[in-house]
Structure 1
Amino acid sequence: MAETRNDALAAWMTEHQTSAGELADAVNEAIRDFTGRLGTTSERTVFRWLSGENRWPQARQRRALEAVTGQTTAALGFAPRGKFAAAPEPPPKDPSVHRRRFCGAATGTAAAAAVPLIAASRPSRVGTSDVIRLRDSIDTLTALDAERGGHNALERAALAGAAEALDLQRRSATQRVRARLYALASDFTATAAWSLIDAGRLDGAGKHLDRALTLAGMAQDPEMTMQVWNLCAMLARQRKDFGEAVAAAQAAQSTWAARRSRLHASLAHARTAIGLAHAGDRRAALRSLGRAEDALSKADTTEPRATWITFYGPAELYSLTAIVRDVVGDPAEAEAASYRALTALPETYRRNRAHTTVRLALAQLHQGEVEQAYTTSTDVFQIMAGDPLPGRMRQLLGDFHRDLITQAPPRIAHEWADRYRTEWSTP
C-alpha cells in the first residue's frame, strides 16, 4: 500500500523553519533530558516520518516530539497501526521544559510591558530545542507587530529575546547551535530596530541595526544579513539620506540570500528603486523597478520562507511601485499600482491596506483630483477603526495633509484636519 506523506509534521517544520537534522537533534536532546542518554534519532528517521514510511515513532521519540513541539502525537500526523492501534495513547507530557512559550499580551495596556523570555529554571544544556523555541518567539513578535505596529513593548520584548539568545550562546552548545543562536539574536535585534522605524523613532534604530549586522556576520547567516540591509535601506529613506538608502539596498542585492532567491532579489531591487526615485534618478529607478518585477515573476512564492519576508509578494511590490511612480512624477501609474495592491492584499493585512490607501489618495491628489483624494483618504479611518497609529503611518498622513493644504480649498483642508484630530487625537 502506498505511503501517505505526513503533511501535519511537514507543516509544523515549515512554520518553525526547522530542518530534518534540527528536528532530529531536538528530539535526541529531549530524550536525553528524560532518560539521561542522548537519543539516536537520525535525519533519515525524520525523512521516514515525513514520507509516511514510519507512521508511529518509538515511545520515547513520541514523548520527545511532544515536548519539543508542544503538539500531541496525533496533531503531528502520527497514527498507530496493527497491535499499536488498540493501545491507548498516554497523556501528553508537560512540554514546558522544552517549549517555554513567548508569552505576553498582544493588545491593550498589557502590551506596554516587555515580555519576559528567560524562565526561572534554566535547562542545564543548550541545544536545538532552544533554537526552535526562540524561533517560535520570533513568530509571536511578528504577530504582535502585525496587530499593533511598532511600539515600545515590541522593542523591549525583542531586545529581551536577543539577550536570551546570547546568554544561551555563551553556555555549552555545539558550534552549529551557537551559530543559530547568533542568528536569532540578530533577528530579535533587527525586530527591535523595525519597531522603532515603524514608530517613527529613528534615533535608536541605527544602533540596533549596527548590532544586528554584527550578529548576522558572526552567525554567517546570509538570510539575516539580507534582512538587516533591507531595514537599513528603509531607515535611511526615512531619514531622507537617499544615497545611503540606495547603498544599503544594493548591499542587500549582493547578499547570498538575494543571489540564490529571486524573491529576495526582487525585494532588494524594489528597495533600490525607491531610493533612486527619491534621489531624483528617474531612469535608474524605473530600471530597478523593472528588475524587481522580472525577478518576482520568476520566483516561486509558494516556497517556505523566513518569517521576516512573509510580507513580500505581488501586493507589496504593487505598493512599492506606487511609491516609485508617484515620486518620479507618474501619479496616474501610481494610482493604478495602488488599486492593484489593494486588490491583491489579504484582508488581514490591515496596516498595509491603510498605508496603500493613503498612497492612493496621494496619487489622486497629485493628479488634481482633490475631492476624490479627500474621500479616499477618509477610508483609512474605517480601515484602522480608530486604533492608535504607528508613527510611520502618521508621517504619511502628515505628507498627505501638507499636499492637501497646497492644492485644496482651505475649507476642505480644514475639514480633513478636524476629522483627523477627532479620529486619532490619541497617540
Structure 2
Amino acid sequence: MDATRNEALEAWMSEHGHSSNSLAKAANLALERLTGRPGRYDGRTVRDWRSGRVRWPNEAARRALADVTGLPAVDLGFVPRVQSSPTAASSQEDSMHRRTLVAGSISALMAAAAPATGAVRSVGMSDVERLQSKFASVIASDHRHGGQLSIEQRAVTLADEALNLQNSGNATQRVRSNLYATAASFRSSAMWAAIDGRRYHEATGHMREAQTLAELSGDQAIKFRIWSHAGTLYRHMGRPADALAANDVARHLYITRRDPLFASLGIARQMAIQGVAQDRRGLRRTFDQAQEAMGRAEPGVYRPVWLLAFYDEAELHSLALSAHLAVGDWPTAEYHAHRCLAALRPYMLRSRAITTSRLAHAQLAQGHADTATTTAMSVPVDAATQHPRVSRMLQEFGAALRATAPSSDSTRNWTEHTATWRASA
C-alpha cells in the first residue's frame, strides 16, 4: 500500500509559512530547548513526514513538533503504529478528549486576557520580526550614547509591547517562544543601560525580569546574554564572587559548546572579573584562551544582532584593559588600550570614550602626566558630561592628576578644560 500524504501537516506548514528546511530547523531548536541537545532533523526528514513515509515519528520528534506547533501529533496528521485493543483505542480517545478540554481552557483564558476588539487576531512571526527590527535600533543607540535613562526606558516599553502581544491573539508555540525571547532581549538591554549608567538597583530589577522571560523562551543565546550581563553587574558592584558565579552560568550553557564566539565572550568577561578579584597570575592565560576561541568561530554562522554588534577583537582588548587596570599593571593596560582603539568600529562612540578614559588613567599611573592629560582631553564633551561611567572616570582622573602633580601645567590645562564643560552644560 502506498504511503498517504500527511495533508494536515502540509496545511499547517502552508498556513504558517514553513518550508521543509525551516520546520526542520525549528524542530531542532525546540528539541534543544527541551533536552539541552540540538536535533539533527533536516529537510529530508520533514519531507518523509509530509509524504507519509513516516506516519508516526519517534517520541523526541513528536515532542519537538508539539513545542513548535502547539498541537499533538495526531492533530498534525500522524497515526500511531498500533492500537492493540478497544481499550487502548478508548484510552487514546480519552487522552485526546482531555487534551481538547485543556486546550479549550487555555484558549478561554487567553481570550479573557485579550482586548475586547471583536475577532481574535492571529499573532505571527511578522509581528516578532517587527519588534526585532526595533531591537536593532536600541543596540545602535547604546553604542552611540550608552548608559542613558532614555535608552533604558525605551527598552522597557518595547519589552512590554512584546508581552502585550502574547495576550492579543492566537499564536503558535514557536511564535510565543520568540515573543518571550524578544521581551527578554529588550529587558536585558534595559539592564545593560542601567549598568552602564551606574543605576545598579534598577539593573538588578531588570535582570530578574529578563531571567524569567528567558526561561519562558528557552532561548540559549538570550540566556547567555542575561547571565553574562549579571556577571558584569556584580563586577561593577565590587562583588567578584557573585560575578564569577553568574558568568559561570553563562559559560556552561550549551551554546558555548556549539559556537566558540559565545565561549570566547564568556572567557573574556571572566578575565575582567579576575582583575577585580586581583587574580593577576591568570590574566594572560585567560586572554589567550579567549583569543583562541574567537579564532575558531566560523564566519557566516547565524548569530544574534547584539553579539555581532559589539564582540570582536576590540572588545576582547577592552576587557583585558579593564582587568589589567584593576590589578595595577599599567604598561599592559596601556598596550591593550591602544590595541582596542585601533580595532574599534567607527560607530562605537561610547566604547571609544570609555577606552580613552581608561588609557589616560594608565598613562598617568606611569608618571606621564602631560600625555595622560592630552589623552583625557580628547574625550568628546558629550561623553565626558553625559555618560555616567565616563564622567566618573574623568573625575577620578582629575583627582589623581591634582594629587600627583598639583602645580603642573597639565593640572592647570585640565582645570581650564573641565571649566569649559561646566560652561557649556
- For 2:342 and 2:390, how far apart are their aligned partners in 1? 20
Could you list the per-position Cα deviations for residues 256-293 of structure 1 after superposition, in whole angstroms to 9, with x for gaps in the alignment? 22222211111111111111111111123333222212
- Following TM superposition, by how much is the alpha carbon of 1:222 offset from its aligned partner in structure 2, in angstroms? 0.9
125-134 vs 255-264, greater mean Cα deviation: 255-264
- Which of 195, 208, 214 in structure 1 is aligned with 2:212? 214
In structure 2, C-alpha distance between the alignment counterparts of 1:138 and 1:250, rounded to whole Å: 26
Change (3 A) 1:282 1:25: farther
Which stretch has the larger CA shift, 321-330 or 411-420?
411-420
User: Match for residue 388 of structure 2?
Assistant: 391
Secondary structure of the equivalent of 2:170? coil
Pairing 1:24-423 to 2, within 5 Å after superposition: 38=15, 42-43=19-20, 124-170=121-167, 171-310=169-308, 311-381=310-380, 388-411=385-408, 412-423=410-421
Residues 410 and 238 (structure 1), Cα distance of their counterparts in 2 relative to 1, 3 Å cut: farther
Aligned mates of 1:368, 1:218 — CA distance in 2? 53
1:220-243 deviation digits (Å, cap 9, x = unpaired): 111011100121112112211122
Displacement of 1:380 in angstroms is 0.9
What 5-or-longer segments of structure 2 have no aligned partner?
1-9, 25-114
Closer, same or farther: CA 410–264 of 1 in aligned 2, 3 Å: farther
Measured in 2, the distance between the counterparts of 1:417 and 1:336 equals 27
Identity of aligned residues (%): 34
**What is the Cα deviation at residue 378 of structure 1?**
0.9
Check whether the contact 2:354–2:389 (CA below 8 A) recurs between aligned residues.
no
Q: Tell me the CA shift for residue 313 of structure 1.
A: 0.5
Q: Retained in 1: the 8 A contact 2:158–2:183?
A: yes
Letter in 1 for 2:146: G
How big is the shift at 1:43? 4.5
| 1:200–1:390 contact (8 Å) kept in structure 2 | no
Report the Cα offset of residue 420 of structure 1: 2.2
More deviation in 286-295 or 333-342?
A: 286-295
SS at 1:402's partner residue?
A: helix
Structure 1 unpaired stretches of 5+: 1-23, 29-37, 48-117
Task: Write out per-residue CA displacement over residues 399-421 of structure 1, whole angstroms, 9 at most, x where no aligned residue.
Answer: 32233233223443354244224
Please give the secondary structure, in 2, of the residue aligned with 1:283: coil
**TM-score, length-scaled by structure 1:** 0.69
Compare CA radii of gyration and give the structure with the larger one.
2
Q: CA deviation at 1:247?
A: 1.7
Question: CA separation in 1, counterparts of 2:18 and 2:265?
Answer: 38
- Cα distance between partner residues in 2 of 1:242 and 1:395: 21
Residues 37-60 of structure 1, C-alpha deviations (whole Å, 9 max, x = no match): x4766355999xxxxxxxxxxxxx
How far off is 1:130 after superposition? 1.0
Residues 42-86 of structure 1: CA deviation (Å, up to 9, x unaligned):
355999xxxxxxxxxxxxxxxxxxxxxxxxxxxxxxxxxxxxxxx
CA contact (8 A) 1:26 1:128 kept: no
**In 2, Cα distance between equivalents of 1:407 and 1:268:** 37
Secondary structure of 2:298's counterpart equals: coil
Q: 1:317 to 1:355 in 2, by over 3 A?
A: same
1:372–1:121 distance in 2 versus 1, CA, 3 Å = farther
CA distance 1:405–1:44, change in 2 (3 Å): same
TM-score by length of 2: 0.69
The Cα shift of 1:387 comes to: 7.7
Q: How many residues align?
A: 322
Aligned twin of 1:21: none
Deviation of 1:306 after TM superposition, in Å, equals 0.9
Match of 2:386, SS? coil
Separation in 1 of the partners of 2:118 and 2:336?
Answer: 53
Q: Judging changes above 3 Å, is the alpha-carbon distance between structure 1 residues 46 and 390 closer, same or farther for their aligned structure 2 residues?
A: same
The 10-residue stretch of structure 1 (347-356 or 395-404) with the greater mean CA deviation from structure 2: 395-404
User: What is residue 74 of structure 1 aligned with on the other side?
Assistant: none
Tell me how far 1:25 sits from its aligned partner: 12
Q: Distance in 2 between matches of 1:425 and 1:128?
A: 50
Q: Which residue of 1 aligns with 2:33?
A: none
Note closer, same or farther for the CA distance 1:356–1:121 as it changes in structure 2 (3 Å cut): farther
1:366-411 residue CA offsets vs partner (Å, 9 max, x unmatched):
2111111111111113xx5678532122122233223323322344
Alpha-carbon contact 2:143-2:347 (below 8 Å) kept: no
Secondary structure in structure 2 of the residue aligned to 1:282: coil
